[in-house]
Structure 1
Amino acid sequence: MRIANSVRRAIASTLASALFAGLSCAIGAPAGAADPPSAQLSFEVDTGLRPDVRAVEPVGRSGSTREIGVVQGLDSGPAELVLDEVMVHTADQAGLDAFVSRWGGEVLDSYADGQDHLVRVNVAAADPAALPADLLAAEPRQRGVYRASDERVLRLLALAAKEWKAGNEVVVNWLVEPTSIAQGKAFEAPDIAANVFDWAYLRAGGDMDTGVAPAWQLLQSKGKLQPTLKYMVVDGGFQPNSDFPDESSIHKGTWGDSNPKDCTNGASCPWHGTEVSMTGVGRVDNGYGVAGTGGPVVKKLVAVGNGLDYWSVMRRTEKAAEDEHPDVVNMSFTRDVHIGAGYARTWTDRRMQHVAATGAFIVAAAGNNGTSVDTDTLWVPCESKHVMCVGGVNNNATRAAGSNFGQFDNQTSVEIYGPMCVRVLADAGHPLATATTSRCGTSLASPFVGGVAALVKAANPALSAPEIRQILNDTAHVGGLGADVTGSQRRVDALAAVGKALNVPIAAPKVVIEKPAPNSKVSNGATVDLWGTATDFKGASVPITWTSDKAGLLGTASKMVAGPLATGTHVITASATDSTGRTGTAKVTVTVTDAPPTVKISSPPAGIEVVEGEAVNLAGVTFDPDTFQQVPDSQAKWEVRRNNVLVFTAAGHKATLPANKVLPGAYSVKFIAGPTAATRAFTVVALPPGASKPTATITTPDKDLWVQSLGGAPLAFDLAGKGTDPQDGALAGERFRWTAYSPGGVKKVLCEGSAVPSQHSGIVQPHNCATTTAELGVLFDEGLDVTAWTVRLEVFDKGGLVGTDTVTISVAFAVL
C-alpha cells in the first residue's frame, strides 16, 4: 500500500461552554480540565423557558388537567414534559407498590397487561443536587448544560435518574408534536382538473418515480382496486370533507376540533390530521381535493385524537387499534428524547408491539429537524423496531433539507423515504373550499407511504404487516439521497411493490455495467471498453445508450469502444428504456489522467570517476501519479553519451553499460519515462599502461534490497565485501570505502578504510571497512515515499587504482 509522504496530521480538541442569562438557580458547576465527569454536566433553571401549552387534558383516574414543563440542552431544541408524572414498567404488583411508596405516588392509568403504568409522583422528595451524578451513572455520554423551566422539572428528572441508576425502567412523559406542515410553502394551486397520472409525486418515471398512479391501474387490471381496508390516523385537527371515505369514525376527539398544539418550530397547523388523512386516503377521481395514495382501496378512516402527552397518545393508539383492527396505522408526530432515552426506547417498543399485534402495519414520520436519528437522542415513535420510519425527499429524489435521516440501515432508523411535499386543501378547516396548495413535511411523507402499504395489502390480503414492510423495502428505489444519508437510501416505489405482491415484478430495466470497473483510471489518449447488459421485466434484452457528462453521447450498443476521452473525470451513464417508457440507469466514473511521472536516477552516482573497462550499473526510479505505480518498463529507456556522442541505449528501469563501452571521456546519462527525463554525468579515466585494476565484490547484501520503515526512519544495514588485485592479491579492509548516493544527489560516506588514498596528512588510526553497518532512511525532501540508495564499494590497490561494485537498498515509508 502506498502511503503519501505528506501524511502529517495533528489532532486537536476544543471544549465549549455557554452562559445563560436570567437563571434563578443552578445545579452543578462549570467544568475545568481536571474536573470529574459529573462537573461536565449541569442543570440550571431558566424561567425564560415556557411551554407552548400550559396543560394537557385529564387521563385515567386524574380528574384535572396536568401541567407542562420544558427542558432544553445546548444541542437540542426545547422538549416539553408533563410535570409530576412518569411512566413505570414493573413485572409485578409488588414492584409497582414499592415505587408508589418511594415517591408518594398515585397510579393514574395502566395497560391491561399490568406492566406499564402512568404514575403521578411527589417530586419534593427528589434531590436536584444528585441529578448530574445519577444521570451519568445511567447515561455516561451526557455532557453540557441543560436548562429547565422550573425546579419541578429538575426534581422530576432527578427522580427518574435515581431510578435509572438503580436499574429501574422509568420513562418521562414527554409531549409529542406534529412534524410536517412547518416546512411547507404556499403557492398558486394548479388546475385541479389536471391529470393525476401526470402529478410528479404520483406518476411513474421522473426523479421520484413513485409509480402510485400506475399501481392503481395494475390493481384494477387484476380486479383488486376495491375499497376494503381500514386506515387509522393518530393526529389532531380532523375536519371531514368529500375526500374522506364514507365510513369514517373518530376516537377520543370530535370532528371539527382544531389541533391543540402547533407543529415543529411553533408553526400553526390547526388541521394537521385532515391533511395527513387526505394524503393517505383521499378519494381519487371525485372532482374534489387531492388524491390519496391509498384512496381507492380504503373503506374506512379511523381518526384518533392524539392528545398531547406521550402516555395519552400511546394509550389511545393502542386502545383504538384493539377496537378497530386497522390494516394501516399512521403516526405523523414525534418527540426527541435526550434524557432517559434507553428507557423510553424500551417502553415505546413494548407499546408499539401491542399495536402491531392487532395486525396493523405502522408508519411514523421521521421528523423535520434535518438531523440524523441515529445518535444518542431517541426519536419516538419513529425509532421503534415495530414502526416503519419515513423520511422525505425533494422532487429530484434527494433528501429534503428539513427531513431527518438515518446513518444505519436497520428497523430502528429512517427506513424508507416518500415525497416531502404533496397537494392539500389550502383551507382544510372549510370543507367547501376546494383550492389546493403544496405542503411539505415528513408528516405527509409518512401517510403517503402508509397509503402505498394499503395498496400492497389490497393486492394480496393474506400478507402480514412484516411481509408488507419487507416488500416495500425490497422494491424501493435505492440511492441518490445524498452523502450524509449513510443508512437506508430507499425511496418508495408503489408500482414495483404492488407488482411484487401480485407476483408481477414490473420494474425499470436492470442495467449492469461490466466494463469499465468503478473508478477506473485510463491514460490520456486511451480508449475505453463499454460493456453492459440491460434486461426488462420480461427478461428481454434492451439496447444500452452510453453517455458521458463531459463528452455527451458515446453510442448505443451492448459492447462498444469509446474514446479517446478528454482528460478529466467522466461520469459515464448506461441507460435503457423499455416498452413502457420506464428507464433504468447505471453509472460509473472513469478518470482520464495525464500527469507526468517523477523520474530520478539512483545509479550511477553523480560526478563519480570510473576507470576504463569497468561496467557501470544504470538504475532509475519512476512514479506515475495517475496509477500510483512506477512507469512500465516498456515506457522507460536509457541514453548514454560519451563526449556528446550516443554510445549506448537500453529499455527498462535497470541496465548495465558494458565494460567494452566504458572508455576514457566525459559521459552523460539520460533516463527517460514518458515526457520526463533525468540526467547524470560521470567521468571515465584511462587505465595506466601495463596496469590492471582490482575487483570489488559486495557480499552482504548479495542482491538489491527493498524494505519498509515505519515513518521512514533510518534502518541499520550490515555491509560486507571483498577485493582482489592481480598484483597485490586479496586486499585488506583498510583499502575499502563504502559510499551511499540518493537519487537526489545526497552523498554519504559510510566507512572509509585507513589505507584509502586521501588528502589527509599525519598519523591515521587503523580502520578496517571489510564489514560495516550503515543507517539509511527515507529522504522526504526528494519528493518520493521511497529512497533508492545506491551503495558503492570501492577497493584500492597499492598503486591507487580502484575497483567498484554497487547494490541498491530501497527504503520505503510505511505506517502502522
Structure 2
Amino acid sequence: MNGHGAIRAYSNLPDLRAKDPAGTGVNVSAIPFARATKFGSPGYDASVVLLLKRVDYVQMADYLPRQRQGIETGQTHGASFSRSAEMSLHFVNRQKSNGLQTVFLARALRRKGGQAMMRLLRLPWTTLATASLVLASCTANPTSAGADEGGDSGKAKGKSSHFCVDDALVAQQQTLPGLDGGGGRQVAIVVDPQGLQDEFVVNEVTYHPTSQADLQGFLTRYKGKVLRDGTPMIVPNNPRGTTSAASSGYYLIRVDLTLSKLADLKKTMEAHGLMGDFRFSSTDAARLLALVGRETNAGPNFVAKPLAAKIPEHPDGKGGNLDATQFFWLNGTLPLGTDVIRAWNYLLYKGFPPMNGTWKPSFVAILDGGFALNPADPTTSAPLTGNLDFGFFRQWDVVDHDLTAGATCPGDGDSVCSSYHGTQVFAVAAAQFGNSYGTAGTGGEVVSPMLIRIDGSEYVFGDAIRSASLNGADVINLSWGGKCGSVCDAFHETLTALQEDITFATGYGPSAVVVAAGNDGLDAADPFTGDLPCHLDNVICVGAVQQNANAEPFSNFGTPLTIWAPDREIGTVDPILAGNLLGPAQLRQPLKGTSFAAPFVSGVIGLIKQLGNRTTNDLKNLLQVTSNVSSDPKVSPVTLPKTQGIVNPLGAVMTARPPLRPTIQITNPANGAQVVPDASLQFVASVNDPEPGFANYPYRFPVTVRWSSNRDGLLCSGAVPGVPNGATCTPSKLTPGTHVITAVAISAFGAQSIPYGEIVVEVVYPAPIPVITLPAPNSTFFTSQTITFHGHANAAVDGLLSGSALTWSSSFQGDLGPSVCTSPAVDCTMSAKLIAGTHVITLKATNSVNVSGTATVPVQVLSGDDYPTVTILSYYDGDYNFAPGDVETLVGAATDPVDATLPDSAFVWTDSRDGFLGARKTLPVVLSGTPGVFTDHLVTLTVTNHAGHKGTASVHLGVGTIN
C-alpha cells in the first residue's frame, strides 16, 4: 500500500462486544464502516475498528458481494475508497479492561476477481502501535498526525509532524552502483515542509559505535551487514609508503528495514526538531529515518550528484589542433587574468619539472563516478579511444575495491549517460599539455592525476577522501554536491563522518580538499540551500565565473566560497560523442558548471604544492590575497581583508615562493675611473640569476639589466640570456662631471638585484680636434681673390661637428663666420676676402658641452687687383670614394676682376702623384691607385689670366677604398 502520514485516532465507534457474547467470533457483516473524517477524500483508504478475540482468518465472501455495488462506486456506508484501493483496519481505542487479550489488524487486499480478501494478523498488545502505523498516500495533504487530534499542519507552528508517501518523488539517480560488484542500491527521498529534498540510500546507515559491543548490538537489532568498516583503501606503491590505515571509526551498514517500525517515527522526528509535513518516496524511506532517529550515532547515507550544467552542443574542432595558449582561461586574457601559462613557465623557471634527476609531481585526486577508461580491461583499464590527455595516471575504485576506475556508465546522474563527468573534471585539472590532442589542464606538466571511482553516497565520498590522502594525494577534487535539508541537518552522522574524513585529509598530507559551490544560484551560506560539502570546514569551495569576470548566473555564492574560477573550458575528447563521423580526434567537449571551476583551482593548487606544502588555511589565504578583482560583488566582496576574487595562478605561485634575486657586479670601468664618453666607452657587468630556469632555458628566462646615472637618468636597458656573457652598455651621452653609475638586474619574473651594481666615475670631455686641410700654411693670396678655407673637426660623443660649432677668425681681421659643411661634415668651408697683411686663420670647434679646440694656419695676403679666384666644382676636399680605374671628371671654374671669360687653355690640372693631368675646365681623368690600398691625391687647378696672374684651388681625393 502506498501510505502517508501519521495515523488518525478514531473514537466513539460502535462497541461490537455485545454481538459476540460467547466470544467465538464476530460477524464481519455487522461491522459498520466509518467515514474517515480527515482521510475521507478520494484516494484515501477507509479505516475501521475491529475488536476481535479469537479470529485468525475471515473469508469475506459472504459480506463483500452484498457490498459489491458500493465497492465499485467507491461509496459504502460512508467510506470512500477507490475500486483498486486497499483498506487498512486499525485498532485505535485500547479496551484492555474489558477482557480483550488479543487485537487483530485487518488489511483488505487489493480487489481481485470481484472479491476482496481480508487477512487478520494476530498481534500482541505490546506491538500493536508499531504494526498499526501505516503511511498513507500523498494524493491529498493531511492536516493532522498521530494523537494531535485536529492539530495544525506545518513546521511554522511546530506542533507536530506529518508524513506521507509520494509516488511522484523520483531520485535523479535512482540507484547507486553496488559495492564490491553487488547489485544496485536504491536511492530514497524525503522532502521537508520547505520543499528541501534529501536523498539517501534506502537501507544503509552510517554508524559510529562507541564500542565493539555497541556495534554488535546494532547489527543484531537490525540484522545488519557491515559494508565498510571505515578502513580506507590503500593501493600498492602509494607515494607516502602507507601499508595500512586504522578505521575512521564510522561503519557503513546495510540494515533490514522490516525490523524498523514506524510507531516512533513521529516521536523521533519531533525530538530532532522536524515539525510539519514530510513526504517520503517510500515507506522504507520512513523506516530508515525512524531507525536513525531512535539510534544514537546513526545517520542515513546521503546522496549527492555531479555539479555540471549541460551544454547542448559541442564544437567539432575541424581543421587542425587547438592551441592551448589561445584559450582565454589559460593565457591571462583580461578581465579574467587567469594567467595559467605564465604560471607553468614560472614553475619551469623554478626548476619544476627538473631537467634531470628524480622528482615528485603533485598528485591531484579526482573523485568521480565515471572515467572514460575501459572497464573491460581489468589489468590496465586503459583510456577509451586512445585518449592521450590522461598521460601517466593512477586509478582505483572505492566502490568495488579494485584498481580500475573505468565505468560502463559515467554515472553523471542522467538517465542517459551523455558524458563522462569524471573525465571532463580530470581534463580541466590535469589533461596533458602540448600533445596535439584534446585540451590542456591547469596543472600543466607538474601534476599527475589519481582517478578514484566513487558512487554518489556521502559515506563513500569520505572513504575516498581518506583513501586519496593516505595514498599520497596533494589535492583532492570533489565536483559533486547536494543539498542538506532539515532531515540531513537533523540526522548528521554521515556529515560528521564526512567532515572528519576531510579534517583527516587536510591534516595528514596535508591534502587540499577542493569542492564545487553548486549550480543553483543560491547563497551557499544558507545551510539548507547551499550545497554540501561547500559549507563544511577545511574545504576550498569554488564558484564559477564567466569570461567577463562576472559570476555565472547559476553559480552558488556567499561566504562559504573561497575563490572563483572560470568554468566554460573545453574538455578532452568525449568517447560517447566520438561515435559520429567526425572521429574522436576532432571532438572537444565544451563544459559548464561549478564542477569544472573546482578542478581549475585543483590544478592551480597542484602548481602551488610543487613549491612547498601548505595547510588549507594557508592555501585559502594565498588564493584570496593574490586573486584578481571582479566588478561583480558576488565574486569580489567589498571587504577587508580581501576575500574571494578570481583565482590568479601566476600571482599565487609567485607568492608561494617568490623568485630569488639576481646578482650583478660592474666590472668595467673601475670604481673612481675617469672616462671619456666617446664610442669606445662601454660599461660591463657580470650577471647571474640563481633560479634553475636561467641556466636551463637561457633564452626563455633572460635577465634584464637597466643602467642609469644619477645625473643623466636611464642610459641603457637590455636582456641578458643565461649564457656565459656579461651585460654591456655603451651610453650615447653623459654630461661632464661626477656620476654614480648604477646597474640593476631584473629577473624574468620581476625580482630585482639588491644591492645594485654601482660605481662612481668622473666623466670628462676632451676638446674637439679641428683640422684645417686647405690652404697650406703660408700660402700667398691677393686682396682681389676670395679665399676658401677647408677644415673639419671631430668631438668625443658628438662626432663630426658642423655649422655653428665650427667658426673661423683672422688674427688680423677678426671673426670670419661659421662653416658650410658637406654631409657628412668631412669638408667644412668658409670663403672670404682678406685685407693685405699676414693673417693667422683660426678654426674653432666647440662640442655640445661647450668644450672647444682650435687649429690655425698662417697665410700671406698681398695687394693686387687682377688675380683670378679659382673653385673646384666637382668634388669636395676629402672625397675618398674612388676605386682604381674609375674615371673621375674634374670640373673647375674661375672669376677674374678684369677678364670676363677665361679660355679652357687657362685651366691646368695637376696631381701630387700623377703630375700633369690636362688643360681644360672639364677634364676626365683616371687617378692612379691599387685595389685595397688607400692612395691620397692632392689635385690642384691653376688658372692664369691675360696678365699672367695666377689663382689656385685644391682638393684631396682618395683612390683605392670605397666607403
Q: TM-score, normalised by structure 1?
A: 0.53
Provide the residue aligned with 2:795 in structure 1. none
Give the direction of change, closer, same or farther, for the CA distance of 1:177–1:222 in structure 2 (3 Å limit): same
SS at match of 1:422: coil
CA distance in 1, matches of 2:209, 2:460: 19
CA distance in 2, matches of 1:502, 1:34: 57
CA distance in 1, matches of 2:267, 2:454: 35
CA distance in 1, matches of 2:468, 2:225: 25
**Structure 1 contact 173–311 (Cα < 8 Å) conserved:** yes
How far is the alpha carbon of 1:259 from its aligned partner? 3.8
How far is the alpha carbon of 1:90 from its aligned partner? 2.6
Segments of structure 2 that go 5 or more residues without pairing to the other structure are 1-40, 45-134, 145-150, 231-245, 355-359, 373-382, 662-705, 707-746, 751-963
CA distance in 2, matches of 1:253, 1:177: 23
Give the direction of change, closer, same or farther, for the CA distance of 1:345–1:311 in structure 2 (3 Å limit): closer
Mapped pair 1:120 → 2:254: yes
How far is the alpha carbon of 1:25 from its aligned partner? 3.0
CA distance in 2, matches of 1:471, 1:435: 36
Provide the residue aligned with 1:586 in structure 2. none
Provide the residue aligned with 1:346 in structure 2. 496
Find the partner of 2:647 among 472, 489, 492: 492
Provide the residue aligned with 2:395 in structure 1. 249
Find the partner of 1:158 among 272, 281, 290: 290
Provide the residue aligned with 1:91 in structure 2. 210
Mapped pair 1:48 → 2:162: no
Deviations 1:3-24 (A, max 9, x none): xxxxxxxxxxxxxxxx999994
**Structure 1 contact 258–271 (Cα < 8 Å) conserved:** no
Give the direction of change, closer, same or farther, for the CA distance of 1:180–1:237 in structure 2 (3 Å limit): same
How far is the alpha carbon of 1:495 from its aligned partner? 0.9
CA distance in 2, matches of 1:194, 1:106: 52
SS at match of 1:423: coil
**Structure 1 contact 280–448 (Cα < 8 Å) conserved:** yes
What letter is aligned with 1:186? H
Find the partner of 1:232 among 344, 348, 365: 365
What letter is aligned with 2:162? S
**Structure 2 contact 187–200 (Cα < 8 Å) conserved:** yes
Mapped pair 1:145 → 2:277: yes
Give the direction of change, closer, same or farther, for the CA distance of 1:436–1:159 in structure 2 (3 Å limit): same
Q: How does 1:294-313 map to 2 (within 5 A)?
A: 294-298=443-447, 300-313=448-461
CA distance in 2, matches of 1:64, 1:427: 27
Provide the residue aligned with 2:484 in structure 1. 337
Provide the residue aligned with 2:551 in structure 1. 399
How far is the alpha carbon of 1:238 from its aligned partner? 1.4
Q: Which of these two proteins has the greater Rg computed from alpha carbons?
A: 2
How far is the alpha carbon of 1:131 from its aligned partner? 3.2
Mapped pair 1:221 → 2:335: no
Give the direction of change, closer, same or farther, for the CA distance of 1:190–1:314 in structure 2 (3 Å limit): farther
What letter is aligned with 2:427? M
Mapped pair 1:25 → 2:145: no
CA distance in 2, matches of 1:171, 1:34: 24
What letter is aligned with 1:171? G
CA distance in 2, matches of 1:326, 1:426: 25
SS at match of 2:658: coil
What letter is aligned with 2:392? D
How far is the alpha carbon of 1:191 from its aligned partner? 6.8
Find the partner of 1:289 among 394, 413, 438: 438
Provide the residue aligned with 2:339 in structure 1. 211
Provide the residue aligned with 1:445 in structure 2. 597
Deviations 1:234-277 (A, max 9, x none): 112212211112244343474652445334x8684431111111
CA distance in 1, matches of 2:257, 2:327: 55
How far is the alpha carbon of 1:210 from its aligned partner? 1.3
Deviations 1:157-202 (A, max 9, x none): 1222333xxxx33221122211114367535648764543332212
**Structure 2 contact 304–458 (Cα < 8 Å) conserved:** yes
Provide the residue aligned with 1:561 in structure 2. none
What letter is aligned with 1:368? N
Q: How does 1:396-475 map to 2 (within 5 A)?
A: 396-406=548-558, 408=559, 413-425=560-572, 427-429=574-576, 430=578, 432-458=584-610, 460-475=611-626
Find the partner of 2:464 among 299, 305, 316: 316
**Structure 1 contact 423–437 (Cα < 8 Å) conserved:** yes
Provide the residue aligned with 1:710 in structure 2. none
Deviations 1:365-384 (A, max 9, x none): 12212222222326333333
Segments of structure 1 that go 5 or more residues without pairing to the other structure are 1-18, 507-537, 539-578, 583-816
CA distance in 2, matches of 1:72, 1:20: 23
CA distance in 2, matches of 1:297, 1:24: 58
How far is the alpha carbon of 1:304 from its aligned partner? 0.8
Q: State the Cα RMSD in Å.
A: 3.7
Deviations 1:588-613 (A, max 9, x none): xxxxxxxxxxxxxxxxxxxxxxxxxx
Provide the residue aligned with 1:625 in structure 2. none
Provide the residue aligned with 2:303 in structure 1. 175
How far is the alpha carbon of 1:87 from its aligned partner? 0.2
How far is the alpha carbon of 1:149 from its aligned partner? 1.4
What letter is aligned with 2:352? K
Q: TM-score, normalised by structure 2?
A: 0.45
**Structure 1 contact 284–290 (Cα < 8 Å) conserved:** yes
Alignment: residue pair count = 477
Give the direction of change, closer, same or farther, for the CA distance of 1:115–1:493 in structure 2 (3 Å limit): same
**Structure 1 contact 405–485 (Cα < 8 Å) conserved:** no
**Structure 2 contact 395–404 (Cα < 8 Å) conserved:** no
Question: Greater CA deviation, 44-53 or 366-375?
Answer: 44-53
SS at match of 1:340: helix
Give the direction of change, closer, same or farther, for the CA distance of 1:34–1:174 in structure 2 (3 Å limit): closer
SS at match of 2:590: strand
Give the direction of change, closer, same or farther, for the CA distance of 1:38–1:152 in structure 2 (3 Å limit): farther
Provide the residue aligned with 1:476 in structure 2. 627
Give the direction of change, closer, same or farther, for the CA distance of 1:389–1:192 in structure 2 (3 Å limit): farther
Provide the residue aligned with 1:270 in structure 2. 419
How far is the alpha carbon of 1:290 from its aligned partner? 0.8
Mapped pair 1:81 → 2:228: no
Provide the residue aligned with 1:502 in structure 2. 657
Question: Greater CA deviation, 189-198 or 337-346?
Answer: 189-198
Give the direction of change, closer, same or farther, for the CA distance of 1:267–1:394 in structure 2 (3 Å limit): farther
**Structure 1 contact 171–347 (Cα < 8 Å) conserved:** no
What letter is aligned with 1:399? A
Find the partner of 1:362 among 504, 513, 534: 513
CA distance in 2, matches of 1:182, 1:146: 31
How far is the alpha carbon of 1:315 from its aligned partner? 2.1
Provide the residue aligned with 2:527 in structure 1. 376
More strand by share: 1
CA distance in 1, matches of 2:302, 2:415: 17
How far is the alpha carbon of 1:503 from its aligned partner? 1.6
SS at match of 2:265: helix
**Structure 2 contact 410–421 (Cα < 8 Å) conserved:** no
SS at match of 1:438: coil
